Amino acid sequence: MKTVIIYESVYGNTQLVAEELAGVAREHGDVDLVRAEEAGAGTVGGADLVLVGGPTHLHGMSTRATRQSGLASADTDDEPLGPDVPGAGLRDWFRLSGRVDGTAAAAFDTRLDGSELLTGRASVGIGRRLRHHGFTEVAAPRSFLVTLENRLVSGERERAREWVASVFESHLVDAGG
Along the 177 residues of the chain, how does pLDDT read in single tens digits?
999 999 998 888 999 999 999 999 999 999 999 999 898 888 998 999 999 999 987 766 776 666 666 655 555 445 444 544 556 788 888 888 877 778 999 999 999 998 888 888 999 999 999 999 999 999 999 999 999 888 999 999 999 999 999 999 887 655 545
Please, what's the b/e burial string for 107-127 (b: 16 or more CB within 10 A of its CB; e: otherwise)? bbbbbbeeeeeebbbbbbbbb
**Contact between residue 111 and residue 14 where contact means Cβ atoms under 8 Å apart:** no
pLDDT at 77: 47
Measured between alpha carbons, how far is 141 from 126 in angstroms, rounded to an integer?
A: 8
Q: What's the CATH fold of domain 2-174?
A: Rossmann fold (3.40.50)
Distant-in-sequence, close-in-space partners of 60: CB < 8 Å, separation ≥ 6: 120, 121, 122, 124, 125
The β-bridge partners of 6 are 34, 52
Instruction: Give the pLDDT of residue 84.
Output: 45
- Distance of alpha carbon 172 from alpha carbon 104, whole angstroms: 11
pTM of the model: 0.86
Q: State whether residue 143 is helix, strand or coil.
A: strand
The upper half-sphere exposure of residue 136, i.e. CA atoms within 13 Å in the direction of its Cβ, equals 13
For the chain, the structural domain boundaries read 2-174
